[in-house]
Amino acid sequence: MTTALALSVLGLALFDSTSAGTSLVPLWLLLAPGRVRAARIAVYLLALAGLYFAGGMLVALIASPVLDFAAGVLESWSPVTAPLVLAALGLVTAGMGALMLTRTFAAHAQLIPSQLQDWRRRTLEADSSRRIVGVALLAFAVEFTGMLPYLGAIALLTRTDLGWAGVTGWVALYCLVMVLPAALLTVVRVLAHARIDPALRRLDDWLERNGTKLSAVSFLAVGVLLTAYGAVGLVI
């Protein structure tokens, strides 16, 4: 595990903390009327992190032999084929991110208000740990396959010499870092009470308005990383 790869994985984890499941849902819970129910938010974040860890390990188990086979086939053609394919895939991914940033594409890619309001209603009506876990399961089911930074990080980790113990540790760390900002916001909300309420509401509005742009930037980030690793493979 190189320093550059470690920083890349942690950076992707921090970026994933801006997804709806890891940012908007905790904010809705924090902005619910009445006192802050920190235990409810903790149950949600732990359930979500656990689901992502389990899903990530399943992807890693599947990805490792698939990537090994694909790399073997490509390298049997030519030593530079695999890095070229990786760089090309990165350029395509980055191009998709750039396309998503255009106003025309973004206008059709937004999560429509009625869906967002329904998700908010489900979140605020969850008055027990069982229902909170259900909200976490819904967030996981909706977002997991679209969380390109997480899937990209897992693909990068499975190509290292860490072994399964190391990959497991890094996937667990990724999931913890992913929910860390929401956990810190919860602590600040409990300590600061109403003083931080206006700032949280502004953050909530900003995240709802810029959800598509954040997704586009995630495609760009993963695309740049893939292109960079492909380029390094060509040089080394």
Q: Which one has a higher pLDDT value, 109 or 206?
A: 206
The Cα-based distances of 150 to 26, 88, 129, 178 in angstroms read 19, 20, 26, 10
Residues of the domain holding 44:
3-235
Token pair in block for residue 164: 């399964």
What are the phi and psi torsion angles at 174 (to 5°)?
Answer: -55, -50
Question: Cα–Cα distance between 1 and 6 in angstroms, integer?
Answer: 7
For a pLDDT cut of 70, what percent of the chain falls above it? Answer: 78
Residue 161 is predicted with a pLDDT of 79
Residue 181 is predicted with a pLDDT of 92
Average pLDDT over residues 2-13: 81
Question: Cα–Cα distance between 224 and 219 in angstroms, integer?
Answer: 9
Work out how many domains the chain is built from and give that number.
1
Instruction: State the pLDDT confidence band at 74, using cuts at 50, 70 and 90.
Output: low
Residue 112 is predicted with a pLDDT of 47
- Whether residue 178 is predicted with pLDDT greater than 90 in this model: the reply is yes
b/e sequence 15-42, b meaning 16+ C-beta within 10 Å = bbbbbbbbbbbbbbbbbbeeebbeebbe
DSSP states along 30-62: HTSSSS--HHHHHHHHHHHHHHHHHHHHHHHHH
- What is the residue-averaged pLDDT of the chain? 78
Residue 16 is predicted with a pLDDT of 83
Q: Which one has a higher pLDDT value, 14 or 36?
A: 14
